[in-house]
Structure 1
Amino acid sequence: MQFPALSHHGGTRSVTGSCHQLHLSPATSLLIDCGLEQGGEAAPGAEFAPIGFDIAGIEALILTHVHMDHVGRIPALLAAGFRGPIICSVPSAKLLPLVLEDAYKLGVSSDPVQVERYLALLQRLVVPLAYEQWHCVVEQGGLACNIRLQRAGHLLGSAYVECDVRIDGAQSASRIVFSGDLGAPGNPLLRPVQSPERADILVLESTYGDRLHSGRSDRQQRLEAVIDRALADNGTILIPAFSLGRTQELLYEIEDILHRKALLNDGRQLPGDDPLQAIDWSRLPVILDSPLAQRITKAYRELHEFWNDEARQRLGEGRGPLAFDQLVCVDTHVKHQAVVNHLKSTGRPAIVIAGNGMCSGGRIVNYLKAMLGDPRHEVVFVGYQAKGTPGAVIQASEGAEGFVQIVLDGELFEIRSKVMSVSGYSGHADQAGLVEFVQAMPSPPRQVVLVHGEPRAKRALQRALEQVLVQSNASTSVFIAL
Structure 2
Amino acid sequence: MESGVPRPCVIVTGSGSCDGGPVRAWLPHLLGDESTIVGMLGYAPPTSIAGQLLSLRTTPRAERVRHTGILEWSPDERVAIRDIRAGFVLMGGYSAHADQSGLVDWLVWEFKGEWKSSGKVVFIQHGADDQRTALKDAFESQAEEMDLQVRTVLPESGEQWFDLDADGRAVDDLSSEAQIAMEIRRLQEELARVRRCRA
Partner of 1:416: 85
Quick one: distance in 1 between partners of 2:36 and 2:122?
42
Partner of 1:391: 50
1:397 shift after superposition: 0.7
Supply the distance in 2 between the matched residues of 1:365 and 1:449 (Cα, whole angstroms): 34
Which residue is 1:441 aligned to? 111
Q: Alpha carbon RMSD of aligned pairs, Å? A: 3.5
CA contact (8 A) 2:140 2:152 kept: no
The one-letter code matched in structure 1 to 2:99 is D
Partners of 1:353 and 1:463 in 2: how far apart? 35
- Identify if the C-alpha distance between structure 1 residues 424 and 375 changes in structure 2 by more than 3 Å, giving closer, same or farther: same
- Residue correspondence of structure 1 range 142-157 to structure 2 within 5 A: none
Q: CA deviation at 1:386?
A: 4.3
Whole-Å separation in 2 of the counterparts to 1:436 and 1:457: 17
Deviation at 1:364?
A: 3.9
- Residue 451 to residue 369, structure 1, CA distance change in 2 (3 Å): closer
* Aligned CA distance change for structure 1 residues 426 and 440 (closer, same or farther; 3 Å): farther
Matching of residue 451 in structure 1 with residue 105 in structure 2: no
Whole-Å Cα distance in 2 between the matches of residues 407 and 478 of structure 1? 40
User: In structure 2, do the counterparts of structure 1 residues 367 and 463 end up closer, same or farther at CA, with 3 Å as the change threshold?
Assistant: closer
Secondary structure at the residue paired with 1:434? helix
Partner amino acid, structure 1, of 2:89: M
* Amino acid aligned to 2:88: V
Q: Does 1:429 align with 2:98?
A: yes
How far does residue 383 in structure 1 lie from its aligned partner after superposition? Answer: 4.9
Q: Distance between the aligned counterparts of 2:28 and 2:140, measured in 1?
A: 49
Structure 2: any 5+ residue segments left out of the alignment?
154-168, 170-199
Deviation at 1:380? 0.9
Shift of 1:398: 1.1
TM-score normalised by L of structure 2: 0.51
Measured at CA, do residues 356 and 463 of structure 1 come closer, stay the same or move farther in structure 2, by a change above 3 Å?
closer
Q: 2:125, 2:20 → 1: CA distance?
A: 25
Secondary structure of the structure 2 residue equivalent to 1:338: coil
Query: Alpha-carbon deviation of 1:419?
Result: 0.3
Aligned-pair distance for 1:420? 0.8
CA offsets 1:445-469 (integer angstroms, 9 cap, x no match): 3774222346655553454345445
SS class of match (1:424): coil
Q: Name the aligned partner's letter for residue 460 of structure 1.
A: A
Partner of 2:3: 337
Tell me the amino acid that sits aligned with residue 452 of structure 1: I
Map residues 313-392 of structure 1 onto 2, 5 A cutoff: 336-339=2-5, 343=6, 348-354=7-13, 357-360=16-19, 364-365=23-24, 367-392=26-51
Task: For residues 282-320 of structure 1, give each alpha carbon's deviation from its aligned partner in whole angstroms, at most 9, with x where no partner exists.
Answer: xxxxxxxxxxxxxxxxxxxxxxxxxxxxxxxxxxxxxxx
**Post-superposition offset of 1:416:** 2.2
Cα deviation for residue 375 of structure 1 reads 3.0
Q: 1:460 aligns with which of 129, 134, 158?
A: 134
In the TM superposition, residue 444 of structure 1 has moved relative to its aligned partner by 1.4
Q: Which runs of structure 2 are paired with 1:254-293 in the superposition (5 Å)?
A: none
* Post-superposition offset of 1:358: 3.7
RCO higher in 1 or 2 (8 Å CA, sep ≥ 6)? 1
Partner secondary structure for residue 10 of structure 2? strand
1:479 and 2:151 are equivalent in the alignment? yes
Letter in 1 for 2:109: Q
3-state SS in 2 of match to 1:352: coil
Amino acid aligned to 1:444: W
Aligned equivalent of 2:184: none
Q: Contact between 1:393 and 1:406, CA under 8 Å: does it hold in 2?
A: no
Partner of 2:192: none
Report 1:136-215 matches (<5 A): none
